[in-house]
Amino acid sequence: MTQAAVVANPAKSRIHKAGAVCLAAGLIGAVASIYLLAMISPVGADSFTFPHGAPEFTGLQMVIALLRVGLIFGLLGLWWSGAVPMTRIARFGRYIALVMMAVLTVTEGLAVSVPRTPLDGTPPVFGVIYGAYTIVLGVALLAEGLGVARGGVWQGWKRWVPLSLGVWLLVVVLPALALSFDAARWAMSAWLLLFALLGFVLTREDGFAPGQPTAGSRSGMSSAQSAAVVTWVYAAAFGGPIIPNA
């Protein structure tokens, strides 16, 4: 066995493991979200809030929030696969997508932990901040996905999978959150299924991972946690943690 093969095999295994985690997180998250939202009636005539204040749903909501970690593994696997080119825009999308996904993961977990009633009527300051983070994540996924589609490392239909994550989030999920309860439910669940598809692609990936995560990515994760804490403090001081969600 050549030295290149010895190096490539652990890299390939790492990509496959990251893909499997992302696949499982996407599937479980989509099913759990549909189940949760089917069990909770919309608050008011045309709106729905997340997290829901009923204590019996706190555990499931925390699980859904923690499943976002699996989506981060999917983004890392995409990075390790070498499909993301080293252009400036693609690198921007890669780093910002990882940071924003980490921010949303920690933020959702913190939001679920903040006590509130099912019909809390405080101003949705947290929802505004959450929406801003989501828009930034969508733009980052769009930039990264365009890089993958143009890079040529992935061929055929799978080259469009990363791009579909950003397009779906910006074009379908965000408008659906403001449109109706049912639209938001299905849009968000479908987005999680797209992540499951990304995970499936990574489990079939034969490419070579070009390098390890750098100190910059570890610094980004630290910044993400700091941003999430700041968000929680701000929301706790000025408004309830109300997130319009599917």
Exposed e or buried b for every residue in 78-113, given b needs 16+ CB within 10 A?
Answer: bbbbbbbbeeeebbebbbbbbbbbbbbbbbbbbbbe
pLDDT confidence of residue 246: 39
Cα dihedral 200, 169, 79, 18, rounded to 10, equals -40
Element (H, E) at 104: helix 88-113
Q: Which residue has the tokens 């924003």?
A: 100
**So what's the pLDDT on residue 16?**
94
Q: Which of 235, 190, 206 is nearest to 13 (CA)?
A: 206
pLDDT (0 to 100) of residue 242: 40
State the Cα–Cα distance between residues 228 and 112, nearest whole angstrom.
Answer: 13
Give residue 78's pLDDT: 94
Please give the pLDDT value at position 119: 44
Q: What is the pLDDT of residue 38?
A: 73
How far apart (Å, rounded) are the C-alpha atoms in residues 22 and 18? 6
Q: Decide if 68 contacts 104 (C-beta within 8 A).
A: yes
Quick one: pLDDT at residue 245?
40
Burial class (CB in 10 A: 0-12, 13-18, 19+), 24: middle
In whole angstroms, what is the distance from residue 76 CA to residue 164 CA?
A: 17
- Amino acid 229: pLDDT: 52
**Other residues' Cβ atoms within 10 Å of the Cβ of residue 34:** 16
Q: Digits of tens for pLDDT over the chain (246 positions)?
A: 444 444 457 788 899 999 999 999 999 989 887 877 777 654 443 444 454 545 555 666 677 778 889 999 999 999 999 999 989 999 899 999 999 998 888 777 776 665 554 444 434 566 677 778 889 999 999 999 999 999 989 989 999 999 999 999 999 988 887 777 677 778 889 999 999 999 999 999 875 544 444 444 444 445 555 555 554 444 444 444 444 343
pTM of the model: 0.74
Cα separation values, 44 from 34, 41, 189, 206, 246, Å: 19, 9, 22, 50, 15
Token pair, residue 106, equals 């920690």
Q: Radius of gyration of the chain from Cα atoms?
A: 18
Using an 8 Å Cβ cutoff, are 240 and 115 in contact? no
Strands (E), the chain: 49-50, 243-244
CA separation for the pair 84, 25 (Å, rounded): 22
Reduced to 3 states, what is the DSSP secondary structure of residue 244? strand
